[in-house]
Every structure is written in structure tokens, then in C-alpha cells.
């Protein structure tokens, strides 16, 4: 990881290397923490954070679901993001990834967490394509995981909770150890859920299809892609899909804040479409990057520019 100079922690800026916490921090042991992944893009008018308000809203919703009483409100968190980018501007060469975290701190142990202190931090660093620049251009290889996505019967998928991502971590590890780039997880009914940290879309006969988020996070990037598809007059459907429907799709791709729009060229050793980035995927990618780089005036309200 490429370090920046400062991290925002509990209302103050501290040196990156001094951003430490106690070994008996509650969330370290029990996994109850809410986080977000947000990006700031380098536009012709300086850095701009993409859909900051939506990410902050989801962060606070996650904290509410997890019974974490965040000590900072919506406006304070938005401003902290902006101030952090300003404070580290000379560290950032290109696009930036931002990680806010609301977590239970040091002071109480045991499963009952109500009396634990609630802390918050925000960090930011240079980060390019999560699944690789080649993946953005040419697509990635994906394996259906032996792990199923967390069931709505046991965990709360609408919270971007640290504990939920053990499921993702194990699936990702399995896929990469088997020589693939990413994992695909099914839900507990056997339908396609999502990637380890991404939503999935397929294209069949010119139509765009994505699963509903019945037991998964309400994706901000997925929402952006749906809006772009409507702009491009591409028919879009949210419905259940099966693994074998991906095999016979014309195109497939992952979406997410980190993944952006990454084509899938292969699933379980089966080539998807022509085995490379498809035409519709490229159109969606081109429109997406126009938006995040500030070149589409219709979506200027999605960008929070750093003065």
C-alpha cells in the first residue's frame, strides 16, 4: 500500500504511521464495524469524490443496522472526506481510494457491545484498477466459489459490515489459489448473488440483466450502471440468474467502487461470449468514466470537487 501523510481519526488528523489502535479493540475481536469504499477521481478540474453523499448515507445506514451509534453526523463525515483529500493532495498522483470505518474501540470485551466506545477513521491512498488494468481492458477469469453468499437468515446483507466480508475473503482466496482472478458466489437458493466484492451484470440478446440485492448490499455502482444503461437505451432487467445462464451470456461484467466496470471473459473455464470485453460493456465503461472524470454535465451532481 502506498502511504499518504495523514489519516482522519475521531475528528483529528494524525500522521499515517501513528494511526494505531489498541490490541483489545472490540471490533478487532468480534468484527462489528461498518465501512465504505469511495473513490476520488483526478478530473480536469482537480480531484472529485464520486457519489460522496450516497456513500456516507450507506455508511450511516450500515452503522444503524449494526447498532453502532456513530458520533459524527452526515455533514461532518462528508466534510471530513473533503478535508482529508485536501490535506493529502501532494501525495495523490492519480485516482484515490477512500476508506471510512466506524468501529468499536477499546474498553469493553465480550459479545455485548453496547458499552463499547464508538470510534471513526477515514484513510485515503493512491489505488488504480482493483482487478488490474489488463482486466479493465481484456476481462478477468472467474471461478464459482464453494462458499455461498451470507444468507439473509443469518446475517444482514444491507450493512457493509466488516464481519460480512470474511465470507468474501474466503471465496476470493479460494479463487486466486486456484489460478483465477475473482470469485462468483451463489445465494443459499443456488442463484447468482455477486462477486466477492462486486455486483454482476450479464448481456443476453442486447439486454442487460443483473440480480436483485435480496441478500446483498445495495450497490451504488450498480445503480450508476443502471442509470447509464437507460441513457443509452439499453433494456435493463433485475431478476434472478443462474450460473449456467452466465455461461451462455453474450457478455458479463462486475461492477463496484473498487472494480469500477470489469469485464468477465471466463467463468469456470467456460469462455463468455467471444472471450473478451463485449461491445455493450465497453459502451457502459466509456460512459462511466466520462461521468467520474467530470465529462458528463448531466451527472455533475455526483461529483464533490475538492477546492
With CA atoms as reference, report the closest residue to 192 among 264, 136, 133: 264
The rounded distance, in Å, linking the Cα atoms of 303 and 294 is 7
- What are the b/e assignments for 78-117, b being 16+ CB within 10 Å? bebbbebbebbeebbeebbbbebbbbbbbeeeeeebeebe
Residue 160 catalytic? yes
| Ranges assigned E (strand) in the chain | 6-9, 12-15, 33-35, 38-43, 46-50, 96-104, 118-126, 140-144, 182-186, 192-195, 199-204, 207-210, 236-238, 251-256, 260-267, 270-271, 303-305
With CA atoms as reference, report the closest residue to 100 among 24, 165, 166, 160: 160
The active-site residue, picked from 143, 160, 172, 265, is 160
Q: Are 175 and 145 in contact (CB under 8 A)?
A: yes
| Paired sense of beta strands 199-204 and 207-210, if any | antiparallel
Residues taking part in catalysis: 160
Amino acid at each position: 500500500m502506498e502511504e499518504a501523510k495523514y489519516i482522519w481519526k475521531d475528528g483529528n488528523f494524525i500522521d499515517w504511521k501513528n494511526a494505531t489502535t489498541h490490541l483489545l479493540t472490540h471490533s478487532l475481536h468480534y468484527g462489528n464495524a461498518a465501512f465504505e469504499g469511495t473513490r476520488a477521481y483526478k478530473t480536469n478540474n482537480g480531484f472529485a469524490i464520486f457519489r460522496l453523499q450516497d456513500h456516507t448515507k450507506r455508511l450511516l445506514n450500515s452503522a444503524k443496522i449494526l447498532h453502532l451509534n456513530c458520533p459524527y453526523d452526515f455533514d461532518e463525515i462528508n466534510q471530513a472526506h473533503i478535508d482529508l483529500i485536501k490535506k493529502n493532495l501532494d501525495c495523490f498522483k492519480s485516482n484515490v481510494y477512500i476508506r471510512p470505518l466506524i468501529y468499536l474501540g477499546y474498553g469493553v470485551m465480550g459479545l455485548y457491545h453496547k458499552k463499547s466506545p464508538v470510534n471513526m477513521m477515514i484513510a485515503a491512498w493512491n489505488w488504480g484498477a482493483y482487478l488490474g488494468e489488463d482486466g479493465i481492458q481484456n476481462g478477468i477469469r472467474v471461478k464459482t466459489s464453494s462458499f455461498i453468499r451470507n444468507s439473509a437468515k443469518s446475517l444482514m446483507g444491507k450493512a457493509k459490515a466488516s464481519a460480512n466480508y470474511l465470507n468474501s475473503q474466503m471465496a476470493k482466496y479460494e479463487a486466486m489459489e486456484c489460478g483465477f482472478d475473482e470469485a462468483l458466489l451463489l445465494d443459499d437458493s443456488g442463484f447468482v448473488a455477486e462477486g466477492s466484492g462486486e455486483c454482476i451484470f450479464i448481456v443476453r440478446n442486447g439486454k442487460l440483466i443483473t440480480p436483485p440485492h435480496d441478500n446483498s448490499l445495495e450497490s451504488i455502482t450498480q445503480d450508476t450502471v443502471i442509470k447509464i444503461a437507460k441513457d443509452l437505451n439499453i433494456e435493463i432487467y433485475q431478476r434472478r440468474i443462474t450460473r449456467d445462464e452466465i455461461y451462455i451470456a453474450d457478455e458479463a461484467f462486475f461492477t463496484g467502487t473498487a472494480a469500477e466496470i470489469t469485464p468477465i471473459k471466463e467463468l469456470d473455464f467456460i469462455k463468455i461470449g467471444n472471450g473478451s470485453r463485449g461491445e455493450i460493456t465497453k459502451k457502459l465503461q466509456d460512459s462511466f468514466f466520462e461521468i467520474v472524470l467530470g465529462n458528463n454535465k448531466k451527472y455533475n451532481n455526483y461529483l464533490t470537487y475538492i477546492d
